[in-house]
Protein backbone atom coordinates (compact mmCIF):
# COMPACT_ATOMS: atom_id res chain seq x y z
CA UNK A 1 0.00 0.00 0.00
CA UNK A 2 2.86 2.41 0.77
CA UNK A 3 4.33 1.69 -2.66
CA UNK A 4 1.02 2.50 -4.35
CA UNK A 5 0.65 5.76 -2.40
CA UNK A 6 4.23 6.77 -3.26
CA UNK A 7 3.69 5.93 -6.95
CA UNK A 8 0.47 7.95 -6.99
CA UNK A 9 2.23 10.94 -5.43
CA UNK A 10 5.19 10.69 -7.83
CA UNK A 11 3.01 10.42 -10.94
CA UNK A 12 0.77 13.26 -9.80
CA UNK A 13 3.76 15.57 -9.23
CA UNK A 14 5.28 14.58 -12.60
CA UNK A 15 1.99 15.22 -14.40
CA UNK A 16 1.60 18.59 -12.68
CA UNK A 17 5.17 19.70 -13.54
CA UNK A 18 4.76 18.63 -17.16
CA UNK A 19 1.46 20.48 -17.51
CA UNK A 20 2.88 23.64 -15.94
CA UNK A 21 5.96 23.53 -18.17
CA UNK A 22 3.90 23.07 -21.34
CA UNK A 23 1.09 25.37 -20.11
CA UNK A 24 -1.44 22.54 -20.41
CA UNK A 25 -4.71 22.10 -18.54
CA UNK A 26 -4.94 19.89 -15.45
CA UNK A 27 -8.14 18.20 -14.26
CA UNK A 28 -9.33 16.42 -11.15
CA UNK A 29 -12.50 14.35 -11.15
CA UNK A 30 -14.66 12.09 -8.99
CA UNK A 31 -16.67 9.23 -10.47
CA UNK A 32 -19.27 6.66 -9.43
CA UNK A 33 -20.05 3.56 -11.46
CA UNK A 34 -21.96 0.30 -11.34
CA UNK A 35 -22.16 -2.84 -13.45
CA UNK A 36 -22.40 -6.58 -13.69
CA UNK A 37 -21.16 -9.65 -15.56
CA UNK A 38 -21.91 -9.98 -19.27
CA UNK A 39 -24.59 -12.68 -19.69
CA UNK A 40 -22.53 -15.26 -17.84
CA UNK A 41 -24.28 -18.38 -16.51
CA UNK A 42 -21.30 -19.59 -14.46
CA UNK A 43 -21.22 -16.76 -11.91
CA UNK A 44 -23.00 -13.69 -10.56
CA UNK A 45 -20.92 -10.51 -10.47
CA UNK A 46 -22.41 -7.17 -9.45
CA UNK A 47 -20.29 -4.16 -8.61
CA UNK A 48 -20.33 -0.51 -7.75
CA UNK A 49 -17.24 1.63 -7.43
CA UNK A 50 -15.78 5.02 -6.67
CA UNK A 51 -12.70 6.54 -8.26
CA UNK A 52 -10.69 9.74 -8.36
CA UNK A 53 -9.01 10.79 -11.58
CA UNK A 54 -6.08 13.18 -12.04
CA UNK A 55 -5.49 14.05 -15.70
CA UNK A 56 -3.43 16.43 -17.78
CA UNK A 57 -3.56 17.47 -21.41
CA UNK A 58 -0.41 16.29 -23.21
CA UNK A 59 -1.32 17.40 -26.75
CA UNK A 60 -3.96 19.42 -28.58
CA UNK A 61 -4.54 19.52 -32.33
CA UNK A 62 -7.52 21.01 -34.18
CA UNK A 63 -10.61 19.56 -32.48
CA UNK A 64 -8.77 16.77 -30.67
CA UNK A 65 -7.31 16.73 -27.16
CA UNK A 66 -5.13 13.99 -25.66
CA UNK A 67 -4.99 13.42 -21.90
CA UNK A 68 -2.90 11.18 -19.67
CA UNK A 69 -4.40 10.21 -16.31
CA UNK A 70 -3.82 8.32 -13.07
CA UNK A 71 -6.74 6.88 -11.18
CA UNK A 72 -7.10 5.22 -7.77
CA UNK A 73 -10.33 3.24 -7.50
CA UNK A 74 -12.27 1.25 -4.90
CA UNK A 75 -14.60 -1.56 -6.05
CA UNK A 76 -17.35 -3.21 -3.98
CA UNK A 77 -18.53 -6.50 -5.47
CA UNK A 78 -21.23 -9.11 -4.82
CA UNK A 79 -20.04 -12.42 -6.21
CA UNK A 80 -21.43 -15.97 -6.32
CA UNK A 81 -20.58 -19.15 -8.20
CA UNK A 82 -23.77 -20.31 -9.98
CA UNK A 83 -22.51 -23.31 -11.94
CA UNK A 84 -21.14 -25.60 -9.23
CA UNK A 85 -19.76 -27.98 -11.87
CA UNK A 86 -17.24 -25.27 -12.75
CA UNK A 87 -15.28 -26.74 -9.80
CA UNK A 88 -14.51 -30.13 -11.36
CA UNK A 89 -14.60 -33.40 -9.44
CA UNK A 90 -10.95 -33.91 -10.42
CA UNK A 91 -9.92 -31.09 -8.08
CA UNK A 92 -8.89 -31.74 -4.45
CA UNK A 93 -11.69 -31.12 -1.91
CA UNK A 94 -14.07 -30.28 -4.75
CA UNK A 95 -17.23 -30.83 -2.65
CA UNK A 96 -16.01 -28.47 0.06
CA UNK A 97 -14.87 -25.94 -2.57
CA UNK A 98 -18.22 -26.07 -4.36
CA UNK A 99 -19.99 -25.31 -1.10
CA UNK A 100 -17.58 -22.51 -0.19
CA UNK A 101 -17.50 -20.82 -3.59
CA UNK A 102 -21.27 -21.27 -4.03
CA UNK A 103 -21.95 -18.86 -1.16
CA UNK A 104 -22.60 -15.19 -1.89
CA UNK A 105 -19.40 -13.22 -1.24
CA UNK A 106 -18.60 -9.55 -0.67
CA UNK A 107 -15.32 -8.56 -2.33
CA UNK A 108 -13.33 -5.34 -2.16
CA UNK A 109 -10.78 -4.41 -4.82
CA UNK A 110 -8.14 -1.69 -4.48
CA UNK A 111 -7.18 -0.50 -7.97
CA UNK A 112 -4.60 1.91 -9.37
CA UNK A 113 -4.96 2.53 -13.12
CA UNK A 114 -2.97 4.61 -15.59
CA UNK A 115 -4.62 5.53 -18.86
CA UNK A 116 -5.06 7.64 -21.96
CA UNK A 117 -8.03 9.69 -23.20
CA UNK A 118 -8.70 11.04 -26.69
CA UNK A 119 -11.40 13.75 -26.81
CA UNK A 120 -13.02 15.31 -29.86
CA UNK A 121 -14.82 18.64 -29.57
CA UNK A 122 -18.35 18.53 -31.01
CA UNK A 123 -19.47 21.97 -29.87
CA UNK A 124 -18.68 24.58 -27.24
CA UNK A 125 -20.46 22.45 -24.63
CA UNK A 126 -19.94 18.87 -25.82
CA UNK A 127 -17.00 16.50 -26.27
CA UNK A 128 -17.00 12.80 -27.08
CA UNK A 129 -14.12 10.61 -25.93
CA UNK A 130 -12.56 7.17 -25.89
CA UNK A 131 -10.53 5.91 -22.94
CA UNK A 132 -8.19 3.02 -22.26
CA UNK A 133 -6.49 2.19 -18.96
CA UNK A 134 -4.79 -0.62 -17.10
CA UNK A 135 -3.08 -1.10 -13.78
CA UNK A 136 -2.42 -3.23 -10.71
CA UNK A 137 -4.99 -4.06 -8.07
CA UNK A 138 -5.38 -6.03 -4.84
CA UNK A 139 -8.48 -8.17 -4.31
CA UNK A 140 -9.27 -9.27 -0.75
CA UNK A 141 -11.22 -12.49 -1.44
CA UNK A 142 -10.45 -15.69 -3.33
CA UNK A 143 -13.03 -17.19 -5.68
CA UNK A 144 -13.00 -20.19 -7.99
CA UNK A 145 -12.04 -17.79 -10.82
CA UNK A 146 -9.40 -15.57 -9.23
CA UNK A 147 -6.87 -15.93 -6.42
CA UNK A 148 -6.79 -13.47 -3.56
CA UNK A 149 -4.16 -10.75 -3.78
CA UNK A 150 -2.44 -9.22 -6.79
CA UNK A 151 -4.21 -8.84 -10.16
CA UNK A 152 -4.69 -6.39 -13.02
CA UNK A 153 -7.69 -4.30 -14.07
CA UNK A 154 -8.06 -3.17 -17.71
CA UNK A 155 -10.76 -0.83 -19.02
CA UNK A 156 -11.95 0.51 -22.38
CA UNK A 157 -14.71 3.12 -22.58
CA UNK A 158 -16.54 5.59 -24.79
CA UNK A 159 -18.39 8.59 -23.42
CA UNK A 160 -19.77 12.10 -23.58
CA UNK A 161 -18.53 15.19 -21.73
CA UNK A 162 -20.77 18.20 -21.10
CA UNK A 163 -18.80 21.35 -20.26
CA UNK A 164 -19.78 24.41 -18.25
CA UNK A 165 -17.14 26.94 -17.18
CA UNK A 166 -14.38 25.02 -15.32
CA UNK A 167 -16.62 21.97 -14.78
CA UNK A 168 -17.57 19.05 -16.97
CA UNK A 169 -20.00 16.19 -16.41
CA UNK A 170 -19.00 12.88 -17.99
CA UNK A 171 -21.07 9.80 -18.72
CA UNK A 172 -19.64 6.62 -20.19
CA UNK A 173 -20.29 2.90 -20.51
CA UNK A 174 -17.15 0.78 -20.16
CA UNK A 175 -15.87 -2.76 -20.39
CA UNK A 176 -13.67 -4.01 -17.54
CA UNK A 177 -11.61 -7.20 -17.42
CA UNK A 178 -9.86 -8.38 -14.25
CA UNK A 179 -7.23 -11.14 -14.18
CA UNK A 180 -3.75 -11.76 -12.80
CA UNK A 181 -1.93 -12.71 -16.04
CA UNK A 182 -1.25 -16.20 -14.72
CA UNK A 183 0.86 -14.95 -11.82
CA UNK A 184 -1.28 -16.87 -9.31
CA UNK A 185 -3.05 -20.24 -9.24
CA UNK A 186 -6.54 -19.09 -10.24
CA UNK A 187 -6.74 -16.79 -13.26
CA UNK A 188 -10.04 -17.16 -15.13
CA UNK A 189 -10.90 -13.60 -14.09
CA UNK A 190 -14.08 -11.57 -14.53
CA UNK A 191 -15.50 -9.43 -17.32
CA UNK A 192 -18.17 -6.81 -16.68
CA UNK A 193 -20.08 -4.04 -18.43
CA UNK A 194 -20.35 -0.86 -16.37
CA UNK A 195 -21.88 2.60 -16.52
CA UNK A 196 -20.38 5.58 -14.74
CA UNK A 197 -21.04 9.25 -14.08
CA UNK A 198 -18.40 11.76 -13.06
CA UNK A 199 -17.69 15.41 -12.39
CA UNK A 200 -14.35 16.94 -13.45
CA UNK A 201 -12.89 20.32 -12.59
CA UNK A 202 -10.26 22.18 -14.62
CA UNK A 203 -7.62 23.55 -12.27
What are 93-132's pLDDT values in tens digits?
Answer: 888 888 898 999 999 999 999 999 999 999 989 999 999 9
Per the CB < 8 A criterion, the answer to whether 112 and 8 are in contact is yes
Bridge partners for 93 per DSSP = none
Spatial contact of 121 and 65, defined as CB atoms under 8 Å apart: yes
Which residues, including other chains, have CB under 8 Å from residue 49's CB and lie 6 or more apart? 32, 33, 34, 73, 74, 75, 76, 194, 196
- Domain boundaries, given as residue ranges, for the chain: 2-202
Band (21; pLDDT cuts 50, 70, 90)? low
Which pTM does this prediction carry? 0.84
Residue 177 sits at the vertex; the CA angle it makes with 67 and 92, to the nearest 5 degrees, is 150
Element (H, E) at 141: none
Q: From CA 54, how far away is CA 60, in angstroms rounded?
A: 18
Question: Which fold would CATH assign to domain 2-202?
Answer: Porin (2.40.160)
Q: What would the pLDDT profile of 149-185 be if each residue is shown by its tens digit?
A: 999 999 999 999 999 999 999 999 999 999 998 888 8
CA angle, 199 as apex, 152 and 114 as ends, to 5°?
25
- b/e burial code for range 122-140 (CB count within 10 A of at least 16 → b): eeeeebebebebebbbebe
- CA gap 202, 27 in Å, rounded: 5
Amino acid sequence: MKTIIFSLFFLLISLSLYAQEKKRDLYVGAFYGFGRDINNEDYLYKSHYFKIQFSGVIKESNHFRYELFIQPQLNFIEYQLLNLNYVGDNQPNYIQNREEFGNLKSITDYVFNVGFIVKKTISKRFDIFVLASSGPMITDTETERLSKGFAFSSVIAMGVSIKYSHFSVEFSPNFNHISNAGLQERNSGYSSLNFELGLKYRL
